[in-house]
Structure 1
Amino acid sequence: MRAWFLILPLAIALSAPYSTLSKRWDGLMALYMLLEELGYEVRRVTGSPFRLPKGMRAFFLVQPSEELKEGEIDELVEWAGRGNVLIAAGDLPLAPLAERLGLRLVEGSGIFESGAIGVQLRKPRVERAIVKTTWRLRPWDSRSDVIPLCGDAEGATVVMVRLGRGVVFLISSPFPLTNAGLKYEENVDLLSNLLSFLPRGSEVGFDEYHHGLRTIRLPMGELISIGGFLASPLG
């Protein structure tokens, strides 16, 4: 029984969409490993309750499977405004965050790729992103702090929002950051542009908390909760 108690939660995590533990097409393992290879200090954020660790300079929030609470959105926005980089990719689960930043998520025709807007993406130059989405981002009103980076006639698919001393990147699809999405050179170049705001070696975090992976600290030690199951860390 003990072996199942440990293996079942791990199996759930390895197949969870948009998790850094997953090798599936919609996992983020390739992104996690790429950032490590580039010299960033990468960590998974699993603490309960949800908190952004001190010292972290960038945070990836990709298609959360659990609803973002109002207080969590407040923390993310305030944290970014203190000089950090928030990269949020997804559709409906990120609508509340987009609204907080003055953007609305609208559904339109399906597209495979979207072209670059203006000359913002130059490190290296990006002409298009492979997004595979029906969703677009549109500002509620004209604002100088909201800069569309990729999109089409129906709206933006990649947006930069200047926030205090920091910046938020919103992508209307999780696909560009997935294992499948990063097989496209265009998306790797897009990622390079998003990371250009960070010094090499910075601490970068990934949201696993909203994918159901939690670290719970108890008097007897730490427990990992995955999809409602509990397991002690191996080793």
Structure 2
Amino acid sequence: MLALVLAVLIGGFAYVAQPRQDSPEHSSNSDAANGTSAARLFAQALGHPTSTIEGNFSPPEQDGLMFVFTPTSPFTADHANQTAEWVRLGGVLVYASERGDAELDRALSVTRLNGFVPSQKQLGNPVLDGVTTTSGGDFTIPLDASPTQVPILRTDGGFPVGYIQKLGLGKVVVLADPLVLCNGYLDKADNGRFLSDLLGLVGTGTAVGFDEYHHGLIISDFAPQAWVATPWGAAILWFLVAVFAGLLLRGRRFGPLVPRPPEVARADVEWAVAVGELLRRSGARALTIGMLATASERAVATRTGLTALPRDRFWNALYARAPELAAELADAERALYGSAGGDAEVLSAAQSLHRIAYPPARDRPRRPTTEEAR
């Protein structure tokens, strides 16, 4: 039974975790509209050997090209500095991210403005061959380009959303809207030409890498394909199969059934003792005295056909109907509130109240009828 429940849970999780046609991190392994698998295939078609950077972060060869799309696993300071140094030694980096990465922005001196601007239509700089306009997302956070950072894409409002910068022997292209390079946008406006121009920043046959290392662990990593396509997935799958088979073949309980002991009904006095002990331990003397007086007044009101609230009306009616009982109850309450000693005095006063509230049957006065009360 346990194995069956475990198998059902795993199957349900695998179903829920199936990869959807969405890639907010713009993975080069995704065929979704916002994925970038087409960019990798396009680079291969142009004669560039391509690779995905996974497992360990290591940029391509020295004069290569690397794409970094929207890191979901933050860059460390070491990785950011390593990337900047790789560019200075001759590498070309295309860094496309909606909000950027704090460490990589620092290492590359990327500054972003606050707020969003419309970016569906982006105007190309003449430095881009054959690129007049590109099409991107609805809104983006624009860049604040410095004098050494040459804008290559601007919005209709003139805000830079892409620039190129020479850094040492290499170049950095920063894009505020990665969608211009994504699968579902390459056939719009001049997006395809723009990707071709970026690949043209390096020579034919130069290695092109796509950073998947900083996309971290996402829900699609637990998809059913990962259970058979990766070593860790296959190992876990075989382990679960072995556990299921073992439990199925064993076919018996883990131990003898232990009967549940029957519940013993507690007497009312036990509950009273428990509540009293809690009140005593918490030092709630005033609360205890108030509870005793209120309970006694309620019991006397029931016996005499009066209402216990409001208290002033109850006492006035009690003195009018049963003056002796009212005087006796008042004396007992005064003794209760005036008990400055220990628990013994409180107990004695409480016993007096109890005798008044619940007198023996032979001493209990007859409850007046409705006619007598009138």
Name the TM-score, length of structure 1 as normaliser. 0.79
Partner of 2:262: none
More relative contact order, 1 or 2 (CA 8 Å, 6+ apart): 1
Equivalent of 2:54 in 28, 46, 64: 46
Equivalent of 1:137 in 128, 143, 167: 143
| TM-fit CA distance, 1:130 | 1.3
Aligned length: 214
Contact 1:31 / 1:179 at 8 angstroms: preserved in 2? yes
Q: Secondary structure at the match of 1:105?
A: coil
1:75 aligns with 2:70: no
| TM-fit CA distance, 1:172 | 0.2
1:68–1:196 distance in 2 versus 1, CA, 3 Å: same
| TM-fit CA distance, 1:56 | 6.2
Partner of 1:220: none
Q: Secondary structure at the match of 1:114?
A: strand
| TM-fit CA distance, 1:44 | 0.5
| TM-fit CA distance, 1:59 | 0.3
1:190 aligns with 2:194: yes
1:110–1:71 distance in 2 versus 1, CA, 3 Å: same
1:100 is aligned with what amino acid?
Answer: A
1:58 aligns with 2:65: yes
Let me know the Cα RMSD of the aligned residues: 3.1
Contact 1:101 / 1:161 at 8 angstroms: preserved in 2? no
CA deviations over 1:82-114 (Å, ceiling 9, x no partner): 111100111213354334333311223222011
Q: Secondary structure at the match of 2:71?
A: coil
| TM-fit CA distance, 1:66 | 1.3
Q: Distance in 2 between matches of 1:39 and 1:165?
A: 23
Q: Secondary structure at the match of 2:119?
A: strand
Residue segments in structure 1 that go unaligned for 5+ positions in a row: 215-224
1:135–1:74 distance in 2 versus 1, CA, 3 Å: same
Q: Distance in 2 between matches of 1:47 and 1:30?
A: 22
Contact 1:67 / 1:210 at 8 angstroms: preserved in 2? yes
| TM-fit CA distance, 1:131 | 2.3
Q: Which has the higher strand share?
A: 1
Equivalent of 2:120 in 102, 112, 125: 112
Q: Which has the higher helix share?
A: 2
Contact 1:58 / 1:203 at 8 angstroms: preserved in 2? yes
Rg bigger for which structure? 2
Q: Secondary structure at the match of 1:68?
A: coil
1:80–1:55 distance in 2 versus 1, CA, 3 Å: closer
Residue segments in structure 2 that go unaligned for 5+ positions in a row: 1-6, 235-374
Q: Secondary structure at the match of 2:68?
A: strand
1:162 aligns with 2:163: no
Structure 1 runs (4+) deviating above 6 angstroms are 227-230
| TM-fit CA distance, 1:187 | 0.8
| TM-fit CA distance, 1:61 | 0.2
Q: Secondary structure at the match of 1:199?
A: coil
